Structures are given as C-alpha cells and as structure tokens.
Structure 1
Amino acid sequence: MGTWRNVSLAVTAAAVLALTTACGQDNGNASPGAQSVANPAPADGYGYGDGEKGENKAAAPKAAGQLAARDDAKLGKIVTDSAGMTLYRFDKDTAKPPKSNCEGDCAKAWPVVPAGTATAVPGTDASAVGSVTRADGTKQLTLGGWPMYRFAQDTKAGDVKGQGVGGTWFASAPDGKKAAPAGAAPDAPAPADLPGMSVRKDPKLGEIVVDSRGMTVYRFKKDSAWPMKTACTGACLDKWPVVPPVAKNDTTGIIKKGFVVFDRPDGVKQQTIDCWPVYTFSGDKKAGDTNGQGVGGTWYAVSPQGKLVGAPK
C-alpha cells in the first residue's frame, strides 16, 4: 500500500510540475483553470474540445421550431431557430447523400439540431427541410441536404461567432447553402485553411500571431498569466471574442511553452500563449486588420513568444 501511495504522489507531483514549468513559474502552485493540451482539442475547426473525464458534455439538443431568416449586413440572410440562434453547416459533411461527419468532441462544440418539428423559413420551399439519421440513431435537421448545427459559443440571439471557424463552418442560408450577401457566390469554396495559429509579418508591427482565418490575435494588459485570470467578461467578450482551443500540432511558429487551455469562470474554454489568454477583435473585418492594436492602451497584438507587440514600456 505504501509503495502504491508513493507512486501516486510522484505522478501527481510530476503533473503539477509540468504545468508549472509550462507557465514559466517555479513556485509549485498550479494555476486554477489551466488545462494541459497533452490531449489537444481537435484540429478540425471544432471550436473547442472535450474536458477531461467527460466534463463539458453537450446539453440535450433543443428543437429548432419555426425557422427564420435574419438579414446580416456582412453575410446576407442567415437561418436562425425559433430562439434566434444561428444555424451552421460543416464543409466536411455531405448533402448528397446527407451525412454528418461531426461526432464526439465536435458535436459538443457544435450541438446538432434535432429534426423534430422544424418548420421552413416562411416564403421558402418547405421541401428543403429534411433529416439525416446520425450514427447514434438520432435524427438531425437538414436544409438542402446539409446537416444543421448550433455553435456552443453563441450565447445569445444574433451571435455568429461560429462563422468561418477552421475555414469549414459557415452560417446557413435558408436553402442550406453558405450564407452570402446579395451578388456574392453563395456557395463559393472556403479559403485555403491556415493552421489554427500561425505567424504573419505585419509591415508596421512585425511578426504577430493570427488565427485560422488570418485574423490578428490580441492580449489584454489587465489579464494575468499567473495565476491565470481574465479581466474581459460580459460585454467585453462581444468586442473581444476568445480564441478557442487550438491543438499544438495545428500551429506554425508559435511558442509551445505555456500553450495551454484556460477554463474561464464563465465556462468558456480559451487558448493561451505563454499562459496569457488571447482574443480576436470584432472591429477587425478582414484578415490582416489590426484595428484592435493599442485600444484603450490595454489591447495589443501578440508576438510568436506571447509578448505584447508595440506596447509602451
């Protein structure tokens, strides 16, 4: 019994030391909320992965009810459920024949929309509404043959935080095609995927980190890396969405030390670099924008080493 206990204590101590070392600390106190990515989140644009021991399991799926179309200034008509939540489609699924390829961790980040009694968007062809039988035997709503999902990080009606995630997830139009403004090709191929995180050479800022969409990644000076804490909550997250977890092997040029997942107090999982929580900026409209740089004297782009770029000394 004594031998077993000693081995168990040694293993626990090693785990704590690994996280401590990853965050560049030597005081032996693991930061609450930090999660190692030894078993990383999927690299398929899921948004975030499962917690350990089955934590963060998806809630029971909600019926879509009366579908509606919302006009979005950038995306055109977007399908929503009866609660106003955006519905998405996944490029790795198929419509002919309908087939969902989002299972396991993917379905926790992207809850499926059950077929149920969904009613077509008024004024659209009701025959576009259908269903597909998933591997677990449940029936999932389809539009134009494409399986429909919600995004777990959309927290209120009108959110479209899942748009473009991983270059494979897109808000759905009423016919199941990708939502697109009038005059744009509605089902144009997705842009070539970037890694989950990579480095871009900005002409003014130098090397900065970007996400899988090429959007600039930022840090908040009021956050803390040790202990790992966030000062961006509530309405702040509408302007500064968190960067969802990224697998270490889905990065290029980014420091691996302290590349861990932060379990935020609001339940959202957030990627960190050198243990600093990282974000994007809603004011950046296209890849390459750096409109968040220096906002309020507290928000700055991130270097590949996790440092603030261009911040006053």
Structure 2
Amino acid sequence: MLLNTVATIALLTQGTHANAVLRFGCSQITVERLDPLVNPSVNPSPHVHQVVGGNAFNAFIPETDVSQIANCTTCSFSEDLSNYWTANMYFKARNGTFKRVPQIPNRGLTGETGGMTVYYTSAYDNSKVTAFKPGFRMLAGDASQRANGGVTKWNAICFRCYSAKNFGGDNGAPCSDKTVDTVDLPKKACAGGIRTTIRFPTCWDGKNLDSPDHTSHVSYPATGTFENSGACPTTHPVKLPQLMFEVIWDTTTFNDKSLWPADGSQPFVFSQGDNTGYGQHGDYVFGWKGDALQKAMDGSCFGATCKTLKSQAFTDANKCAVTSSVNEPVDGWLTSIPGQMSPLGRM
C-alpha cells in the first residue's frame, strides 16, 4: 500500500524534529477572473483563478482581519477562513479550442470538490516559527515568467507527472524526484494526471503585512532551503511556517494524442497564457481565527487532525459559497481562455 504524503513527510523528518505538518483539503469556492491581491477591485481581473477557503473572497478584500469578515470556509479546519488561489490549467485542442482541466482531491483526502491540498509546516530544526498575522498576504511565483529561474531555485514550484497507478497522488516528497518532477509542464501525456506544487517564502521582515509587489516583505532562506533549515536573511529575520499548495489536475481525459497539437507539443496552458509552466503562481490572504494557527504550529499537529483546531465535514464545508460576480463561461469548450482575447488561442 502506498503511503500518503503526510506519512512520507513524517519519515523524511524523523531526526530533524519537525514540530507540525498540517495537511488538509479545501474545496473550490469559486472559479472566476478575480484577484484581490494583485488586481484589487478590478472586475474582471486579467486571468482566471481557482479559489478555495473563506467566503470573504471578492474583487476586494479589506486589509484587515479576514476571520472577522468571512463566516464559513471550504477547508476542513473550520477556523481557517483564509483564501488560497492559483491560475487555472486549460487544455488546448488541435483545433484551437480550450477546455478547463478539473482538479480532484489528493490521494488520502476525500470529500473535497476540486480545490487543493494546503500544508503548513513548522521548522525542521525545531526552532520557533511565527504564525502569520491578521491582514497578512503574499504571492509565490511570477505569472509572467516563461523561463527557468526566479523562485524555481528554491524548489518553490514544480510539476509531477503521475503514472496510471498513482492517479490522484503518491508517496513522494514534493519536487524530490527528478525522474518525474519538472519545473516546467511535462512534455508527455501523464496517465495519472499532473500535480502542481507551490511553496511560499518562509522568512518575514517582521513589520509589513504586505508590500507593493506582494513579495518584498517576505523572503526565501538566505542559503539552502526551508527543508534543510536554511537561515533567514537579516533583512527578513522572522521565520514563518512553510505554506505549500498541491493541486492535482485530472489531465487523463485529454490524453488522446489525436487531440494534441499536430507537432506533438504539450497542450496544456495556464489561464494567464503560459504554456511553459514557469509562470505558475499562488496567492494567499491569511484568515485564521485568533491564535489557532500558532497553537497548531506549537502543538505538533499532524495531517488533517489537530486537537487544538476545530474540524468540519466536507458535507458542511462544501455548503460555503460566494456569488460569482464575473458573467462569463470558464468551462466547456471555449474559443479562447477568458481574458486571453486572441482568437482560437493564438497568444
């Protein structure tokens, strides 16, 4: 039997004294062109996102305690009213039309509707991590990136091409196996779908809850990585939990090569017009209630259960909703990706 990802992390961190690894599912709350972090109050924003978490999500989210605005969440921990979102993946058929690739729950997690798996990991060297503060928000990755570089050097973004037997997940640590992990989109058909991994910065300047580019107030380690306990730079001395997204894209229904481009090139493209994968990115607006996240990080919580946190069944989480404010189709066969206006996707 395959170990799930949490069990694998436990094995990998034995001897390094990881305090806590929260791993939990969040269903989609909306799929639309809104981005209250990069394009606040712009409706519609430039490209489509799939969003999970609390129902405070909107074109504009006030820079305040989001847990006081939202009153429900699509995540399994009911005290987590944060919002998490990524660009959507689309399939471009040989005839130039597009169809959104659905997300499915990660192996070992059940009940979610689409969405993603969220991780919060405390320091591997048993040092103190400081939970995010009310009003905190940040970005990982660069939507305009089209070549290797940037955050890829911290293993911050990667893709895993699953085999048929690993449909929906496997026991491999993120970005660890270069035979199946790539920093660009896989060039071949993946019989078990594709996993996106996005790791966020783990060091904070201790002052600013955001910055104009949504990245300058945070940093990756000065040397090494979070996993090998790399030190934070002096400019960003406060160690944060490592926030990580995993999205499982069910690409299996698009593996018919007769639908692929005639030259055999990979047919998947992210909603900002990126067919390389280097532009994959994630957005985060913190919204945990009170000191719930700090208690979880200090209390050796593990997986999707934690005695200091309140959980909810997905029958309840999936009732949480927001009203879509962008009137355009995002599903079905489309002549262009919403926001990418070139006819038949010639971008």
- TM-score, normalized by length of structure 1? 0.25
Higher Cα Rg, which structure: 1
- TM-score, normalized by length of structure 2? 0.23
Higher relative contact order (CA 8 A, sep 6+): 2
